[in-house]
Structure 1
Amino acid sequence: MYLPPLRIPVRTIGARTFDFSRRVAVMAVVNRTPDSFFDQGRTFAFDRAVDACFEAVALGADWVDIGGAPFAPGEPIPVEDEVERVVPVVAALRAGSDVVISVDTFHSEVARRAIEAGATVINDTTGLSDPDLAPVVAGSEATLVLTHSLAAPRTAYPRPHYDDIAAEVAAFLLDRVDRAVAAGVPEERIILDPGHDLNKNTLQSLELTRRLREIADLGFPTLAAVSNKDFIGETLDAPREARGTGSIAAAVVSIVNGARIIRMHDVRASVDAARMTEAIVGLREPAYLKHNMGDVND
């Protein structure tokens, strides 16, 4: 059984405390964009986005990740448009729940206003492309997710090449940790994401999943954002709407290899998968014991 050597396993994020030496957090995904890669605008309307957030909480999500701009190459989303998309949803969710709220953004101004509205995590998928983002997080109590990606925001990166993908991703992430710490973000408020599919082809994402321990060995809680990614679709020859089972498999393998947060679309199935995996590897007790525990078999 592999347990990642976490430097600071117990983390308080907003109103919630996680012991990542014994617990896997499930992060739900809510995208308030008209062109998100998976839900294709299903939660773009404000009311639908808010409802999706509260539904995720009711289904057992520990965390809700709210995004207002897709990662995929395309025209930049103006900062004010991104703010208008995410901040009202953050405020509405915070008013009714103590769940961890992260905002998927690389803009420091979006981060600042989201934190003011109640966000407790900034999830930067661009590895600090905005030099002002880390200082904004440092000036708050929020946690920062540092993600490996190579391209400038919303630009293409054709034919990515790695000589040793796990080693190169680890080196990149440690460099970003150094930058964040230098800006004032303490280590106990840093999480690392190797960035499945982000400037990586399917073979590279599969290898990164197999070798995820090398990222977890860095000592920070590792986030695996594997849900419905293209590497699952290409592996299984599955369209976006048929990647759920493959996503659960990838999440479980990631947990076994050290991930302590999984970013998932299907919250109910993901919570069950995480809790079952925790029990199998000996991190939690079953909810109850009855089968073959008495004189009569039930």
Structure 2
Amino acid sequence: MSERIKEEMLDEDAVVLTISNKIATIQLNNPAARNALSTGVMASIQEILDRLHDSKDAHVVILEAVGPVFCSGHNLKEIVGIDREAAMLALFEQCSNMMQSIVNLPKPVIAKVNGMATAAGTQLVASCDLAFASSTSKFATPGVNLGLFCSTPMVALSRNVSPKHAMEMLLGGEFADAEQAARIGLINHAVAEEDLDRTVQDFATRIASKSPLTVRTGKAAFYNQLTMPLDDAYAYTSRVMSENMQTLDAQEGINAFLEKRDPKWRGE
């Protein structure tokens, strides 16, 4: 399955969706514009996420980009042309909704970064469930250098790394290389550029082979329990596990393990 989401402001192929073997790939495909998040690009990504939400064709999503810049963040030329506060607020709300849609998507989203990610581009990486980057990739929240603090990127960043590491990036406005990004938890692993495709594809294939119901349940529970007090988190996850245990997939998985065979998932 392959389809293209048109982007009016830039190029008709600015965002491309492909689905194969239960793996959906969202590709930012406008390197000339540094894969910036214009309102049109964000609308295209949002449309794709909405389509994938209940799709049975995809169990896992890869987010990648063409060119040396994974994503440069918001389109600054578009931003400086907005002269009304209400319109500016609408733009940032659109971006915030898109980022939350990634977190709330009932399928894991893997960022595959091969290049620079800045400002809302770093926010995009931090919003994904997993992130792998080539060793030459770099990450920054440089808004402070322009007099515009990266406040909305800060939300996703501060939920990935420790407060002091987040503040170092936000206040310093300098690039963190892939090794540092992995060390502070912004990405999972930094790998050689020639190994990036295989690394991400292998992990995505592994996820796609699991019960989609179990993965969906687990992702939602993970984010829900993060902000709960310890006792509430245990009470909540105990209920989740109890309900999960009643599903056909859990029963199939346990039986398959005991019978030393591969499980046959039904998604129920």
Q: When the two structures are superposed, what TM-score results if normalisation uses the length of structure 1?
A: 0.33
Higher relative contact order (CA 8 A, sep 6+): 1
Q: Greater helix share, 1 or 2?
A: 2
